[in-house]
Amino acid sequence: MTYTKNMTAFALTVGLALMSLVALASPLFADAASYAYVDAQGEVKMVVANDWMTAIAAAPNIHINSGVFLLSSASDFGAVGDDIPWVK
């Protein structure tokens, strides 16, 4: 009986600790959004970031004249993978 109580208390303690960690970590990912940009080869790519400045900084091989735009609808996501001919 004591063993069962101790295991139950331990399981509750571990469960509460894990829920606390998840609650603390969730704001780190709450603001992440998808942004599109044009890479140096002229292809529209996607990057996930918390804001547009981080998206530009994190975008690999971004074209020197490229910016980013927020992907907020299904039609926006349709642009990812397209080629921009005047970049090549």
Mean local confidence (pLDDT), 6-25: 65
Residue 65 domain boundaries: 33-87
Name the domain count of the chain.
Answer: 2
Cβ partners under 8 Å of residue 16, min gap 6: none
pLDDT value at residue 30: 57
66-76: pLDDT as tens digits? 999 999 888 88
Q: Amino acid letter at 4?
A: T
Q: Are residues 25 and 63 in the same domain?
A: no
Give this prediction's pTM.
0.61
* Sign of the dihedral defined by the CA atoms of residues 78, 80, 81, 82, in that order: positive
Mean local confidence (pLDDT), 32-44: 91
Cβ-contact 33, 49 below 8 angstroms: yes
Q: Are residues 38 and 10 in the same domain?
A: no
Q: Are residues 39 and 5 in the same domain?
A: no
Q: How many helices (H) and strands (E) does the chain have?
A: 3, 3
